[in-house]
Structure 1
Amino acid sequence: MGLLKNAANIEEAALAQLLGSLGIDDEALAQEVAGTQHPAAQRIAIKEVGGKSKKADRRIAQKPVRRHHANMVDRMRDTLADHFDDAMLLTVAERALNGEARKTKASENATMIRGLGKKAAHRATFLIEHAQGRTEKLNGVMRLALDTLTKDERLTTGKDGNLVAALVASGKTAATSRAMAGNTIIAMKALQIIRVAGDQAFIANPDSALLPLLAKQA
């Protein structure tokens, strides 16, 4: 056991000298080194951040920092990464734009979504992320709205609207259903998934870029 312990100490000392020569001696870099599979590197990193050589300490050192987002659009920007600007183009016509016009329209639409009420903005981001294949299942209310649109070929609002009726049939109260239907219509109209077709009536927008994507995810 003594020989093994000495060997481990020599190994650790040699690696420590190497890491020191590379300038890896601050807490942030030590935490990165803690994520390696090399036992000596993990022991050095744990000592560097002042922890004990235990698995729990290693898990704490390796735990990723959770990002805080000011709003749903900023969170979606992280989720979609390089695909964010394309996802912000809501119609076939907008997706045909090029260059600076394309970037400007994507930015305008992101600002528009950010300006929606909180619940409507949530629904809008749920729809966009699902259309981009970033979620396996769509929010239940949004799925019910799309199914109702497909079945009835329109969405109607008000206390006797088909979306309210579908939500009530799913087990929600009339008051909750009216509020949910209102926020859902706001989100779908803002994303140009639907367009006005008379008093309190909406139909699918044939120019929608999101609707075909959502249909594929159904």
Structure 2
Amino acid sequence: MQNQVAEMNHEQEALASLLNELNLNDDEIIIQPEEVASSVNLEEVVGELEQSDALSEAYEKAAVETEQMEQARIERENEGIIDPLSLIAGPEAEPLPEVAEKPKKKSPKKGAAKKGEKKAEKKPAETAEKPAAASEEGNAPETSKKAEETPQKPATQPRKYYSNKVERLNDRMGDKMNEFAILEVDDAERDLSKLVEDFNATMKGAGVKVQNRIGFFTEFVSGKSDRLNSVCAEAVKVLLTEGKITTGEKGNLHARLMKKYSTASAKAMGGNTIIAMQKLKMVVGDKGNWMPNPDSLYLMKLKQMLSIPDAA
């Protein structure tokens, strides 16, 4: 208390000296001394502190209860129990999908391209859009539809060239040539390599048109071709349904072919087909009257594949 009074006296002396320097009177200045607390009520202070502690405990208790209620609400939602407050608030807004930024195009520098030079084409990697980023649920990014719709071209194989029809047929048949060089039942006991040599020699001795028909019969019977030449198929049907083939302008095969072709075409194609059937040992007989060979393996197979009924 004495210290405060001393400080006030010191301040008054300093103020008086300042007023003298400023030529001011004491009446113009009113000095209000600071209020000094005479005494402190200890009971009131303790009461206020206790009330403050009680409020803090109430706030902490309310915070704990709020946290427990929130935890219980989360557990109810996980168990399939709907919180009534969520019905009042309505569904939560879904987050907007992220949009991938398009890459900025770099403008070409002036004077970079010379006259007469073609502009470089854009690479697919530069012009293609980036795939969309995966969503938070773990969905895979969508791929470009253009990439999915573009079919891939099969690799082209180099074209083969053959010196003759025999070489072409042996290449197409492959290992099956040994099997289909057996023309009759008795040939099964012969050496296969010798049968293939005889088959090739017989085919080479024939004309080109006849070689074509030998290839038609062999590829169809072996399964290399799914359709038999129409003239060859007609000749087999006449042979098996009527029991024979008669040649000439009044022959049964010529009469059938005349329904689709001219006289010259029917005669030429019918004659070449009969010669091919002779080379393959499908027919027996003499000129002008050919009968089915009962030992022909080709004829047995063709009857089954073409669904030809027995002769009447």
**Same fold at TM > 0.5:** yes
Tell me the equivalent position of 2:119. none
**1:205 pairs with one of 293, 302, 309:** 293
Q: Normalising by structure 2, what TM-score? A: 0.48
Q: Is 1:90–2:178 an aligned residue pair? A: no
Give the helix-richer structure, 1 or 2.
1
In terms of Rg, which structure is larger?
2
Tell me the equivalent position of 2:238. 148
Correspondence 1:21-100 to 2 at 5 A:
62-97=155-190
Tell me the equivalent position of 1:48. none
Q: Is 1:163–2:256 an aligned residue pair? A: no
Letter in 2 for 1:163: L
What's the offset of the Cα at 1:114?
2.1
What stretches of structure 2 of length at least 5 have no aligned partner?
Answer: 1-101, 104-124, 126-149, 307-312
Letter in 2 for 1:82: D
Correspondence 1:177-196 to 2 at 5 A:
177-196=266-285
What's the offset of the Cα at 1:138?
0.4
Q: Percent identity?
A: 29
Contact 1:86 1:106 in 2 (8 A): no
What's the offset of the Cα at 1:105?
2.2
Q: Normalising by structure 1, what TM-score? A: 0.68
User: What is the rounded CA distance, in whole Å, between the counterparts of 2:178 and 2:203 in structure 1?
Assistant: 13
Paired residues, number: 160
Q: Deviations over 1:168-210 (max 9, x none)?
A: 02x21111111111101100011000011x5510011011111
**2:213 pairs with one of 123, 145, 162:** 123
Tell me the equivalent position of 2:304. 216
RMSD of Structure 2 on Structure 1 (CA): 2.2
What's the offset of the Cα at 1:103?
1.2
Which stretches of structure 1, 4 residues or more, deviate above 2 A after TM superposition? none
Letter in 2 for 1:77: N
Q: Deviations over 1:35-87 (max 9, x none)?
A: xxxxxxxxxxxxxxxxxxxx9xx959x32101111222211212211111221
